[in-house]
Amino acid sequence: MSRSRFDRTADRYAESARRRNWDDLVAWCEPRPDDLVLDVAGGTGALAAALAGRVAEVTVSDVSEPMLAHVHAPARAVVARAEQLPFPDGSFDLVACIRSLHHVDSPTRALDEMARVLRPGGRIVIEDFLADPDPDRARRWEEIERLRDHDHRRLLGAGEARSRLLADGLTVDAEEQWVERRDVVRWLALADTGGEAAKRVRELIGGPEFQITVARARFRRPVDDGAP
Ligand SMILES: C[S@@+](CC[C@H](N)C(=O)[O-])C[C@H]1O[C@@H](n2cnc3c(N)ncnc32)[C@H](O)[C@@H]1O
């Protein structure tokens, strides 16, 4: 199988993920000392490192072995596709999936799997970039993302993850959105995009920076969800 962008750029990604401030996201996860946590498509384990000492155990699952090679004990690394998690039903108190759903082949299947492995009373925290509500701008942005990174799949629309998790029997605890700025040159370097593709991305963006909306939500599985 060919190496993914993340296989090729794992060291660079690990450095950038380490520099991110995880405090706000950790607070959103509402960590508890007895929590068993799963970080789906958790990459280099930066969230796991930020949760260390606040929860009982963190498992980081991802398809990329080079990314998982950066996960440090006590966190546990497991090679797995988000769409087929190798864990029994109801085995985690907290499931996170951070800035990864837009890389996953089937986000719907991945969300169903996250809901399946969550125990009653447990939380799911999802964070990702959002598709532009305007279809033409959204299409143009998808073209840019794929030029930058062949492993980009698609940005989800507002409320898409929510609808799926509600259908899976969860409730919404909290949601927020904000806009982030990105430096185009650094963004291209992080994905190791060069040559003609990088040139075309710079032309299409047409400036040194761009803005993108990030959405974060916390969902909960009711303690008694009527399941037999
Ligand atoms: C942008 S990184 C985010 C990593 C981490 N969540 C973070 O915030 O630092 C996306 C990750 O998704 C992983 N990935 C892509 N498709 C996947 C899939 N189908 N199942 C599991 N992991 C996947 C990639 O290998 C990569 O590590």
Sketch the domain layout of the chain as residue ranges.
Answer: 5-130+151-179+214-220
Q: Under DSSP, is residue 220 helix (H, G, I), strand (E, B) or coil?
A: strand
Q: Under DSSP, is residue 35 helix (H, G, I), strand (E, B) or coil?
A: coil
| Atom of ligand 1 lying closest to residue 20 CA | 9
**pLDDT averaged over the chain?**
95
State pLDDT tens for residues 56-98. 999 999 999 999 999 999 999 999 999 999 999 999 999 999 9
Measured in Å, residue 150 CA sits from the centre of ligand 1 at 14
| Atom of ligand 1 lying closest to residue 82 CA | 20
| Atom of ligand 1 lying closest to residue 43 CA | 27
User: In this model, does residue 26 exceed pLDDT 60?
Assistant: yes
From CA 115, how far away is CA 109, in angstroms rounded? 10
What pLDDT shows up at residue 3? Answer: 86
Q: What mean pLDDT is predicted for residues 11-37?
A: 96
From CA 92, how far away is CA 96, in angstroms rounded? 10
What pLDDT shows up at residue 206? Answer: 95
From CA 117, how far away is CA 113, in angstroms rounded? 6
State pLDDT tens for residues 179-222. 999 999 999 999 999 999 999 999 999 999 999 999 999 999 99
Measured in Å, residue 110 CA sits from the centre of ligand 1 at 12
Measured in Å, residue 61 CA sits from the centre of ligand 1 at 9
The residue contributing the CA closest to ligand 1 atom 14 is 41
Nearest to 98 by CA among 215, 219, 221, 222: 215
Q: Which residues line ligand 1 (CB under 6 A)?
A: 6, 17, 41-43, 46, 62-64, 67, 81-83, 98-100, 103-105
Measured in Å, residue 42 CA sits from the centre of ligand 1 at 6
The model's pTM: 0.95
Q: What mean pLDDT is predicted for residues 29-48?
A: 98
From CA 226, how far away is CA 127, in angstroms rounded? 28
| Atom of ligand 1 lying closest to residue 64 CA | 25
* Torsion of the alpha carbons at 39, 40, 45 and 49, rounded to the nearest 10: -10
Number of helices (H) and strands (E) in the chain: give both, helices first: 10, 7
Retrieve residue 144's tokens: 């840019």
DSSP state of 175: E
Q: What mean pLDDT is predicted for residues 42-51?
A: 98
What pLDDT shows up at residue 1? Answer: 55
Task: Give strand ranges (E) for the chain.
Answer: 36-40, 57-62, 76-79, 92-98, 118-129, 171-183, 209-220
User: In this model, does residue 226 exceed pLDDT 90?
Assistant: no
What pLDDT shows up at residue 149? Answer: 94
CA torsion through residues 110, 112, 49, 212, sign: positive
Q: What mean pLDDT is predicted for residues 159-181?
A: 97
Measured in Å, residue 34 CA sits from the centre of ligand 1 at 26
Residue 227 confidence class, pLDDT cut points 50, 70, 90: low
CATH of domain 5-130+151-179+214-220: 3.40.50.150
| Atom of ligand 1 lying closest to residue 7 CA | 25
CA torsion through residues 53, 55, 57, 60, sign: negative
What pLDDT shows up at residue 224? Answer: 74
pLDDT > 70: what percent of the chain? 97
